[in-house]
Amino acid sequence: MPKIENTTGMSINLIIDELKSDDIRKRIHSVKHLDLIASTIGPDRTKNELIPFIQELLDDDDEVLIELVDSLSRNFVELVGGQAQVLLPTFEALCRVEDASVREKAANQIKKCLTQLPDQKKVEELSIGIIKRLNDSDYYMAKNAVAILIPAIFNQVSQNNQNDLINIILKMSQDQIPQVRKFTSMYFQDLVKHFPLINETFIQNILNSFIKDEQDFIRMYIVDALIQSSKTPFFQKQQNLVLNMFKQLAEDQSWRVRFYFCDKLAEIGEAVTKEGYRKNFQNYHLKFLQDAEPEMKSIAALKIERVSGLMDPEDILNKLIPLLKTIQSDANAFVRNALASSVLALCPIIGKKNTSEQILPIFLTLLKDQDSEVRITLFKKLSLITNVLGVDSLSQSVIPALTELAQDKNWRIRASTIEVLSFFARAIGPEFLSDKVLKLLLDWMGDKVFSVRQTAIQQTAQLISILGLAWADKNLLTKIWAFQSIQNYLHRITVLFTINQITSQLNNDYIIKTIVPILQAMAKDSVANIRSNVCRTSIQLAKEKGGNVVDPMKKILQTLSDDQDAEVKYQAKSALESL
């Protein structure tokens, strides 16, 4: 492996010393650069000195351990000379720590290391040893890794060891500690993939055990195992069992279980085929859209886009859309926002006539929603309806909503609204960008929040890309350049930020004719920060455009090199030297 470059500005010895520092920030910094240390000292010293030393760090704070498992996951096998087994004890120890993310990453790294061992007998010996030690650990959280590792190695071990692993899973599924049963439930889907290597009775027993569990966070993960079983021959043998268990989960008393089931509806439909979905599960989705829990209605509305492809178009028109009309005015904004994110996906499925009659009224209602987040979500999906109905028919409805969002109190809403302009510019062309719409863009450029101004500037560059420099100069840029005379400092500096953003789109003639006079005037601005930014813009233009632009930029910088402000003077002189 090529040597890793030291970009820390610190010596390797200092990085090593700080692994033992009392300051947690220094330990974290050093742990982040373990690969640099290993690369410098070589594979032999890494195996014999660094890895044993790392073992002493394993009782450190969670923040250090998170960085440690990440560092060891980055090509460390190569740094120990390709001997993956050297890392296994460290990862095994990390499977016993308190932080769940560290345990899971460590278990996944053990899986990765085992795949890099050439001797299959060695893989079996090491993996079975690790699993049994973790399973026998006094710390029950270690069983998290056991649930991850058993499915990964099950088909690589002997029949006797497979039987032992099955017994371990059976005991974990009945463990008195709910967290252990949760681990088993979460990863049982990976074990089901091994059917028929995993026998039918075993799968049935585990599924029956979990679906009767008193803890809802254990029952809900059975959805994943059932989906996986539907993709194996087990489904052909036990179709009624699987379908009935799905239905039990869909009707579970816990809304969390029903929520998880609804979230997986599309995957369930794909596993049991469209016909199976329509016959067994479609009505559950329709029922969830009417649930008393807002969370249930929200997830059901979010899933419309995914599950609509499983439905018959007639059912969409006669069963689904009537329900959507009831939740378009739901009291909960999250429900309406979920609907806004997915309802327009129905347009291509039901065609132009039905979209106009059935979806357009819902669209117009959501477009006037009192919650600005709902309207923004709708705008982001606009192409789904415009592709079916055309943009012209919607523009008159959209502009008033756009204007209202442009003045929203929440700056994030204002920034998100700006991005809609380029969509319309592409879809309709310059005719959409009337004086009224362009005024919105200019207002955003003078917004009190920097992120809004920056987004407006970026959108200007987008419009130039779409509609060309000639259109932009005539309709937009001349109005932006006029900002240089506005008293407000933020407006004036926006001129320079805009030039910086669109430099690559300007030709040299335009720069000489239009931009140079602007910079000459702004080089005399009363605010030093404006003059400082004139330096930055001038050097950028000179370097990027070259040719006949260089000399005018040099003259501007020469003027600023005698500036009364020391910082501006220094910037101008440095810029001239670089040219």
Dist CA 98 CA 107 (whole Å): 14
**Crossing angle of the two packed helices 62-72 and 34-45, in degrees rounded to 10:** 60
Query: Is the residue at 209 inside a domain?
Result: no
Q: Phi-psi category of 390—alpha, beta or left, where left has phi over 0 and alpha has psi -120 to 50?
A: left
pLDDT of residue 431: 64
DSSP assignment of 192-253 equals HTTTTTS-HHHHHHHHHHHHT-S-HHHHTTHHHHHHHHTTSHHHHHSHHHHHHHHHHHHT-S
pLDDT of residue 427: 62
Query: Is the residue at 549 inside a domain?
Result: yes
Boundaries of domain holding 528: 506-578
Q: Which residues contact 337 (CB under 8 A, 6 or more apart)?
A: 298, 371, 373, 374, 377
Look at residues 554, 573, 563 and name the one whose alpha carbon lies nearest to residue 530. Answer: 563
Which segments of 251-303 does DSSP mark as H helices, in order? Answer: 255-263, 265-280, 282-288, 294-302
Q: Which residues contact 450 (CB under 8 A, 6 or more apart)?
A: none
Instruction: Please give the single-letter amino acid code of residue 85.
Output: Q
What is the block-wise mean pLDDT of the chain (579 residues), using blocks of 10 residues? 70 84 89 89 90 86 90 89 92 94 95 91 94 95 96 94 95 95 96 90 94 95 95 91 96 95 96 95 97 95 95 95 95 96 95 92 88 86 84 72 77 78 68 72 86 90 89 90 89 93 92 93 92 92 89 91 90 86
What are the pLDDT digits (tens) for 77-125?
A: 888 988 999 999 999 999 999 999 999 999 999 999 999 998 889 999 9
Dist CA 574 CA 579 (whole Å): 9
pLDDT of residue 318: 96
pLDDT of residue 429: 65
Number of other residues whose CB lies within 10 A of the CB of residue 293: 14
pLDDT of residue 432: 64
pLDDT of residue 217: 94
pLDDT, mean over the chain: 90
Query: Is the residue at 522 inside a domain?
Result: yes
pLDDT of residue 12: 82
Number of domains, the chain: 1
Look at residues 100, 82, 77 and name the one whose alpha carbon lies nearest to residue 90. Answer: 77
Indicate the Cα dihedral angle 436, 437, 438, 441, nearest 10°: 120
Query: Is the residue at 554 inside a domain?
Result: yes
pLDDT of residue 358: 94
Cβ pair 334, 377 in contact under 8 A:
no
The first and second tokens of residue 232, run together, are: 């194996």
Query: Is the residue at 543 inside a domain?
Result: yes
Instruction: Please give the single-letter amino acid code of residue 459.
Output: Q
Query: Is the residue at 97 inside a domain?
Result: no
Say how many residues make up the chain.
Answer: 579
Dist CA 568 CA 575 (whole Å): 10
Query: Is the residue at 525 inside a domain?
Result: yes
pLDDT of residue 428: 62
Query: Is the residue at 520 inside a domain?
Result: yes
pLDDT of residue 187: 96
| 233 prior amide bond cis, ω within 30 | no
